[in-house]
Amino acid sequence: MVRTEEELLKEYYRNLSAEAEEVAELKLSTAVRRGVTSPRRATLSLKNRYTLATAAILAIVLVFSVPWGGGMLNKREAVQGSAVTRTAGEFDAYRQQAGSNITVSSAIEAGLIKRISGVTAEQNGYALSVDGVAADQKGIIILYSIKNNTKANTNWNIFTLTESRLRPVSTWRETESAIAPGRTTYGYEVMEWEKEYSSLPDQVTLAMELHDFKGHTTSTADNLLAKLSVAIPLDRGQMAKAGETIRLDKTLAVEGQEINIKEVYVAPSGIYLDYTVNSQNSKQIFSLYNPYFLVGKGGNYTNLKLLRISEEKDKTRLVFANDSSTKESVQFGIGGVLALDKNATRLVIDTDKQKIIQGPGPNLKISTHTFAKGTTLVLAHYPEPGAKRIDDSITNSFMLDTEFADGAGKLHDTASSYAIPPLTESMQKANLFFVGLGSNNYPQPLTFTIESYPNLIKERLSLQIR
């Protein structure tokens, strides 16, 4: 079933909050464990060098913000209604496993996955095989299978893609995925290169760690069941030809604040859009609100899901799902921006008096809580009276720079470890941000830089891409 652009956009906006309510308790506890105790590389956090902590919705934010990129448990990549016809044939087991992941299933349908053989590894009764890949200028789709010849049941996998000298060439990822004893499990990964494809080696190494986590423990040697690695050959000549680069050189303006879009790259691994903001803007644009891609024709469109957001120097990259089985028109749009006046990004707080001296507005409140490991500063942003809080990671993103200045002008880093206080009824109505101050008694006041703030400026704009 296909739907009109208006219907899809309305559903898209509704689903941003609805998705948060659908997160199972298991995924919530998993997200808390991963977000609090595990290392994270780049991607759906808006700025990976900043500390992100978000109250009762922390786990929800993490579940929808971490770079899932693919993985056999991720089946919400596109709005239902764009299903690719499933027929028997090559990679049929993977087609079935991909389900509604339109990036993977459409790449299989379009014949873009190249079969490879002999790429296998075995250890401790586990056998890893890579059966097919689709590599382009920005990323790679990997189809793999794992045969479990043991009686153990794994429940956590860690993937890395590196070159021979163990330098990462793509995003690092974890996934919760059971591999049952005595069975072959089919899966897929969609990973993004961390460097230009032209500088990649002739082959990369896919490494997979299989773990059996107990409760909420972190990764240790005690729960490592196997560590498997295989070499995947790359053809940079073919990668150069893969996908389509669409030159735009267009500007979107929200209340006079300019967003520049130079080009879009449409490829098997996804749709990649890089944008910059005009340095002469009077407001600091933190992120785009509800960015989307629609593909279709004749008034019938499919909404392609936003997968990752990352920042590099002065540009921001949005990565969306892609439907490789169609050449229909593609439209990009936004619902507005999250922004503040540039002179409002300075936050000055007296933590002794629990008072905001300078800040972005009256909707922000603070409190401090002292524990054995030090003091935790809680910043609570409350929605406007009568407004409903939207539980999605983009709209509610609230981040501070990890570096702050004390009253004497000396710079400090926020504490990486801190305790989270019990949430009051009032706190549960707000978007919360936690800052670890340690046990230091700093000269007051403390000055922070706001790196993201949920101040929404709504304005619907769109561009025809193809």
Q: pTM of the predicted model, to two decimals?
A: 0.77
Mean pLDDT value across the chain: 79
Tokens representing 365 are: 């409140």
Which residues are bridge partners to 188 per DSSP? 143
**Exposure b/e, 100-121, CB count within 10 A at least 16 = b:** bbbbbbbbbbeebbeebeebeb
- pLDDT at position 249 is 96
Mean pLDDT over 296-303 rounds to 86
- pLDDT at position 451 is 92
pLDDT at 58 over 70: no
For helices 58-65 and 5-21, angle between their N-to-C axes, nearest 10 degrees: 130
How confident is residue 373, by pLDDT bands cut at 50, 70 and 90? confident
Highest mean pLDDT of the ranges 152-166, 169-183, 216-230, 408-422: 408-422
Phi, psi torsion values for 279, nearest 5 degrees:
-65, -15
Mean pLDDT over 156-164 rounds to 81
pLDDT at 265 over 50: yes
What is the tens place of the pLDDT at every residue in 6-47?
A: 444 444 444 443 433 333 322 333 333 233 323 223 333 333
- pLDDT at position 278 is 97
- pLDDT at position 214 is 63
- Only one residue has tokens 């590599």, namely 135
pLDDT at 370 over 60: yes
CA angle 42, 44, 247 (to 5 degrees): 90
What is the tens place of the pLDDT at every residue in 109-120?
A: 999 999 998 899
**Exposure b/e, 265-297, CB count within 10 A at least 16 = b:** bbbbbbbbbbbebeeebebbbbbbbbbbbbbbe
- pLDDT at position 24 is 33
The answer to whether 54 and 431 have CB atoms below 8 angstroms apart is yes
pLDDT at 195 over 90: no
> Residue 48 region, left (φ>0) first, then alpha (ψ -120 to 50), else beta?
alpha
Tokens representing 76 are: 């919400």
How confident is residue 260, by pLDDT bands cut at 50, 70 and 90? very high
- pLDDT at position 234 is 94
Task: Answer whether the bond into residue 445 is a cis peptide, omega within 30°.
Answer: yes
pLDDT at 75 over 50: no
How confident is residue 155, by pLDDT bands cut at 50, 70 and 90? confident
Tell me the percentage of the chain whose pLDDT exceeds 70: 75
